[in-house]
Structure 1
């Protein structure tokens, strides 16, 4: 039985019912009695839901009862959201002042009389269903529990590179693998099939195979031994085309001298045939001594392995391949040397790891009784580091002995383990999550294994589905999402975490992904070519393969809320299928049509509940339909990469809920009046708007917090005075832009926290208006500004600056003399600035004494840039862009 998230769903619905919009609307349409009845019944039910969730495994029928409550709550939310839709429509009608709009509105299905009759019928049915369920629940004798105490204290987020001090018991394993890599091929002569040595690392899931491979991969001796280092994660997929593309991109990142935070060019597996891909791959690897890590291999088809090996055996003598796998048979099939079998950690190492994650440093000395119980807990983990880490994280700074005893004595440890069972420690850690976090966690199941998440990607899903209720009611939902991400990271459910301030990226371990699939399987579904049936009750699905786009496959129920296409290059090319979705799934909240090749019809206006729409990389759309601007609930719209889009739709200002807007257009000017109506707009991005010379002259974007301009080659000015609340600014590849003229008053106080400047050829020194953010700026990234010659002395007055990265600014020779005044600076990275890097050398550099106070200093190291480039080559920033 999959997990049920009814407590948080009920709480969300009650929060909506108590809002001003719902209260006023129910009275205005004479539906207050029925709506109040729903609220009263739901309040009573909510009080026993936590107890029901605790007892659902012991009491027969309780799971089904909870499922019924969850379904009726979600159906109620769909129906009652009609109040919000109607309220937004009225706001647009009033703001338009147009009689034509008002008359058209009256004769539509949304006029007051038609709307009231429809809502009355649906709300009475919802109330009847809920009352019946409440009556049925009396037989379970449940107790009232009002608060969910399953919380964990959050620890500070860390960088994802492997910190050897945080890895226990693997030093000998690391040295053994390095010894194998440094030895000549025992059976090879450097030619033919014997030219590449393949070293398998084999062990059960969660044992630390990937961590061990990372320790080896990042060891400096490998940089000296190999000319190219490549890291490719395989997981379930062994498509030769995609693997070639991954290897090419990884090789490009490894050999690149210009690491960058912007998304690198991604080789297209759809536009290049296999012959061209092979040729490109051979060109990259030919005569190069390389190290290739193939992480998490599941393919047991020897023919496919030989096909891949034949393609990559063009390297120089001494090239090596390291493969991590859970299967001994796969290891035997691919290995040219005996497999390295990774064993579990010793009890001593497990306890050290557990203590590290369960306590702050030194805190364990005050709780010897808990440490003793911890030793009993880790014995049950059977040497698996992932199990130890997640359980330790779930107990972080929790000194309640009863909680520790509960973990130690839980019955899950005695269950017989099947081959594909979720690791008991992971399920146990999951069970300790608060209800709101469980529901959010389930959304990871919609993405494939080894998926590189942008932080805003998953948070956008949570936001538009209303999962991020702030206790104070006023906190920015993205900030709440960041807290949730932090809590999942604290519980060790996330890995490879890269934090760049405003932007952050991560992955989930494949076992954690299995757990997400396990808990979400009733309501969430990943559609692949072998999917032959989609249940009627599925509310969220993602499509991973072209072959699965069959009309008959998709359910006829109206309950679907999310349709995603998360894989690069895979989208919809059938307008008839899209029309079916638009007509059938009236309650869609998210429609991701990235990488599709379709035109939108007027039917899009039927999706009155739609909150997020992505048309990223649609090369067919030239114009959007006139009805498009009826989507008053739309919060996120991404038109990135719509290179044929001639103009934004007339009436864009009617999208009054819009919070995030990403634009690619052929327009040379924008309608200022339309943008002036977008009073909720917080994020605005212009990419590849090649004819755009000016953004705005008159309009004030008073709510805008994030502004990105990228590859707008004709853009001449950036009037920051029109964005008084701007916190994030990214300027990338805008050749004509003169940043020094972006602000008329250089000393005006700004609220900017994050600044990213990249490929700005006119930049010789930092513009003085940045000094206006002296009290707020926390992160500054300056990349590939090849004409930057100096940093101003006022830079050292930026009292809040925590992160400063300067990469590939070859003419930059000096740092300001008072760098020691940047007392908050925690992360300084200098690379691709040869003379400056030499002056900052830790042994002989004249600037080294001025930066010794910085916690994390990286001088002349490309590892971080390469790692970021490799990760971002996999990211698909769509409706999720920040």
Structure 2
């Protein structure tokens, strides 16, 4: 199914072929004519790809033809990228080599003449292969469709997990579940109530509606939510439950032994009437469930566990004698149609299109009352008023196809087919991760960019801007769930059926290696290993672009083989590994754009050859607590945009970092010996700065990074925040500010006034000595989100905060006196905030 990703790939490659670097290289090698012919042939092939993608399910020969094209285009892209690598290498040598013979030797190409002959031979070979597959296109009667007309949607995004107004037809079910939870138990203190139903019915959505209901809040002082999925290993479930409960001491439970976790959880639950939601349970082993139940049953009357599962046998196993399973049914035809209309039209617009409504009724019937199917298909038709497009959905042959064992809904596949072509590889990427993985936009955008999936940014756009647009599009089409936007970043998950769809369409090109799928396909390009014992069981494919190592990986032989064999690797993820160093030949991976070693606590050194990677865009060394120093020559990484550092070296190499003119994000974590930053240097293009647990850090010259849009400071107790007198930074572009656990913070630093016209999100957490918010905060006209947690000395809001007419979201928690004054209607300061759309006062901070 990965052949459905070809059009976007071909379009991207044609753009690269037109680049200046490729043009100059082809002239220098004497293959300019061949390259132009290759480009023309590729354009012919691209013209029929959209039609081929639609017809390939009907013909195995057509699918094979598309696979051949994929192989040729992949090899062509490797050559094009090689030209760009050579151009970058020459730039470094010309810039730095004139001053240092050592630099020239460090970056020297092995043999320029051999390189020219090899590249010329490869171009001619690809040209011939392209011409062959192009000639075969006439065998399939394909039409030329040269432009992808599938457009993106524009919809306003929201902050909440579940907006009750978007849930249709479940009010009766909600009230029934609430009644079951509130009624007294008859046998024992712990009652278990399963919600059972097939995938896509909305079991999790219903559980969230109940979980957030006011009557439930009042009845259960302690509420916990755990997404279980396929992982019912006792220790992992205990950690999840503890992480969902209040944790005033901020303990890290990940390092606890099982016995410690049991004791801590029982102490947390003791004497508390609690509600625990176990979402998406798949475990059928009674012994595991009995083991967990024994731990959490603390003999308090009225405690309840709400379970969501697809399996009736699991529900019967888990429910208590005094409770029955709640069988969730499909939506009625009327409710299904109401949900479809809400998804497909702006409010009231449906009245303008009576013909589309009639077609919509027929589409809804085919969805069988499944809310996920109805919502996803409706969303895919949002803002489309061409009758033919609606008829295409209604009459598509996929409705007649037999669903496979995974339960891929035809509606979801149809919705996927309606995606613009450049979004499809981005969606396929999610197949490399287990179900219920929580993703961050900031991480996803870097990997998408490194793999070449993102369109070229327009002027004043960044890769994260493009990625955010794609994620908003996937969200608007109901492909994403649990989407939380906190201003500086966003997190999200995929519904498990949507994850099944990703696995289905990505098979053959994106693959997860696990005990159920221990071997990869021959031409796979993106591999993720889930378990260490599977490493090294087979040779990694030479055409690999993406490689993800499992946690605690330490197979040095496999890593050496990978680096030596997979020379076209773009992304290498070695997070939380047990490697102490990397192979010195890693500098030969000249196509590498993303290297993550985050959380590799045993890593002691990086070879200097890392600095040969001129294509590298992201280097993540966060949490590498034993790393002695950054590699020498880091200033040569001229393409680096994102750098995260943990190091024990006392002197930050400011001169080298200052030469990284492409740097957009910079994050310091546990750099315990660094005392000052950015003295005598400028990073004018830096947009995001993070300072986390840098215990010795005293001063930061924020004037050096005056174009920051995101600033995050956490647990830097010695850092001087005020910067003294006359410290305002004029014309600051700061949009998002996050301050965590800063005991020195009494009021907001005055230099923030420079961002009066740009700031839209402020989050302040665990700043226990914060006493006031300055009056000038009321002049931040663009502020949309303000969240303050656990600042007990803060007793009042600025007098003129009502002037913040754009403020949409206000959250105050852990500020006892202020919370009293902000109570709705009768609070002394309620009038200051009554205009704000969403106000949350008290309770726990939302967990991300």
Distance change in 2, residues 1:225/1:146 (3 Å): same
Question: Secondary structure of the residue that 2:58 maps to in structure 1?
Answer: coil
Counterpart position of 2:569: 588
Counterpart position of 1:553: 538
CA-CA distance at 1:211 after TM superposition: 0.8
Cα pair 1:669 1:695 within 8 Å, conserved: no
Counterpart position of 1:101: 102
Total equivalences in the alignment = 844
Unaligned runs of 5+ in 2: none
Cα pair 2:230 2:281 within 8 Å, conserved: yes
Partner Cα separation in structure 1 for residue 515 and residue 405 of structure 2: 25
Counterpart position of 1:289: 273
Cα pair 2:569 2:589 within 8 Å, conserved: yes
Partner Cα separation in structure 2 for residue 777 and residue 742 of structure 1: 22
Residues 494-517 of structure 1: per-residue CA shift (max 9 Å, x gap): 011100112111111000000000
Counterpart position of 1:154: 154
1:465-480 equivalence runs, <5 A? 465-470=451-456, 472=458, 475-480=461-466
Partner Cα separation in structure 1 for residue 687 and residue 100 of structure 2: 35
1:10-409 equivalence runs, <5 A? 10-96=10-96, 97-101=98-102, 104=105, 108-109=109-110, 111-186=111-186, 188-190=187-189, 196-251=190-245, 255-256=246-247, 266-268=252-254, 271-336=255-320, 337-409=323-395
1:609-758 equivalence runs, <5 A? 609-741=591-723, 744-746=726-728, 748-758=730-740
RMSD: 1.9
CA-CA distance at 1:4 after TM superposition: 2.5
Partner Cα separation in structure 2 for residue 742 and residue 431 of structure 1: 58
Cα pair 1:289 1:315 within 8 Å, conserved: no
Partner Cα separation in structure 1 for residue 116 and residue 106 of structure 2: 15
Cα pair 1:528 1:547 within 8 Å, conserved: no
Question: Secondary structure of the residue that 2:479 maps to in structure 1?
Answer: coil
Partner Cα separation in structure 2 for residue 709 and residue 99 of structure 1: 34
Distance change in 2, residues 1:189/1:532 (3 Å): closer
Q: TM-score, normalised by structure 2?
A: 0.96
CA-CA distance at 1:859 after TM superposition: 1.7
Partner Cα separation in structure 1 for residue 670 and residue 139 of structure 2: 62
Say which of 813, 831, 840 aligns to 2:795: 813
Residues 294-321 of structure 1: per-residue CA shift (max 9 Å, x gap): 1111122222222222332235232221
Cα pair 1:561 1:590 within 8 Å, conserved: yes
CA-CA distance at 1:108 after TM superposition: 4.1
Distance change in 2, residues 1:59/1:836 (3 Å): same
Residues 151-210 of structure 1: per-residue CA shift (max 9 Å, x gap): 242211122422222211212211211221122323x234xxxxx222111101000111
Residues 806-836 of structure 1: per-residue CA shift (max 9 Å, x gap): 2222111221121222121111112222222
Counterpart position of 1:852: 834
Cα pair 1:716 1:738 within 8 Å, conserved: yes
Cα pair 2:3 2:70 within 8 Å, conserved: no
Counterpart position of 1:562: 546
Counterpart position of 2:521: 535
Question: Secondary structure of the residue that 2:422 maps to in structure 1?
Answer: helix
Question: Secondary structure of the residue that 1:483 maps to in structure 2?
Answer: helix
Partner Cα separation in structure 2 for residue 518 and residue 722 of structure 1: 48
Counterpart position of 2:437: 451
Question: Secondary structure of the residue that 1:56 maps to in structure 2?
Answer: helix
Cα pair 2:508 2:524 within 8 Å, conserved: yes
Instruction: Kindly indicate whether residue 589 of structure 2 is the aligned counterpart of residue 607 of structure 1.
Output: yes
Distance change in 2, residues 1:544/1:478 (3 Å): same
CA-CA distance at 1:220 after TM superposition: 2.1
Partner Cα separation in structure 1 for residue 534 and residue 298 of structure 2: 36
Unaligned runs of 5+ in 1: 191-195, 259-263, 872-882
Distance change in 2, residues 1:82/1:2 (3 Å): closer
Counterpart position of 2:474: 488
Residues 826-867 of structure 1: per-residue CA shift (max 9 Å, x gap): 1111222222222222211232223222221112232xx1x3
Residues 710-744 of structure 1: per-residue CA shift (max 9 Å, x gap): 11111111211111321111111110111110785
Partner Cα separation in structure 2 for residue 575 and residue 210 of structure 1: 42
Distance change in 2, residues 1:748/1:247 (3 Å): same
Cα pair 1:721 1:743 within 8 Å, conserved: no
Question: Secondary structure of the residue that 1:338 maps to in structure 2?
Answer: coil
Distance change in 2, residues 1:59/1:416 (3 Å): closer
Cα pair 2:622 2:669 within 8 Å, conserved: yes
Residues 259-314 of structure 1: per-residue CA shift (max 9 Å, x gap): xxxxx76432xx54333333333333334322211111112222222222233223
Cα pair 1:743 1:769 within 8 Å, conserved: no
CA-CA distance at 1:417 after TM superposition: 4.1
Q: 689-698 or 572-581: which moved more?
A: 572-581
Q: TM-score, normalised by structure 1?
A: 0.93
Distance change in 2, residues 1:160/1:840 (3 Å): closer
Partner Cα separation in structure 2 for residue 399 and residue 518 of structure 1: 30
Cα pair 1:4 1:67 within 8 Å, conserved: no
Cα pair 1:638 1:662 within 8 Å, conserved: yes
1:793-812 equivalence runs, <5 A? 793-812=775-794
Cα pair 1:531 1:548 within 8 Å, conserved: no
Partner Cα separation in structure 2 for residue 579 and residue 285 of structure 1: 49
Q: 673-682 or 850-859: which moved more?
A: 850-859
Q: Which runs of 4+ in 1 moved over 6 A?
A: none
Distance change in 2, residues 1:372/1:545 (3 Å): same
Partner Cα separation in structure 2 for residue 309 and residue 471 of structure 1: 52
Partner Cα separation in structure 1 for residue 812 and residue 231 of structure 2: 37
Cα pair 1:746 1:771 within 8 Å, conserved: yes
If asked which structure has higher relative contact order (CA below 8 Å, sep 6+), I would say 1
Cα pair 1:7 1:49 within 8 Å, conserved: yes
Counterpart position of 1:825: 807
Counterpart position of 1:874: none
Counterpart position of 1:575: 556
Distance change in 2, residues 1:677/1:372 (3 Å): same
CA-CA distance at 1:584 after TM superposition: 1.4
Counterpart position of 1:193: none
Cα pair 1:93 1:101 within 8 Å, conserved: no
Cα pair 1:529 1:547 within 8 Å, conserved: no
Partner Cα separation in structure 2 for residue 848 and residue 706 of structure 1: 35
Cα pair 2:571 2:595 within 8 Å, conserved: yes
Question: Secondary structure of the residue that 1:348 maps to in structure 2?
Answer: helix
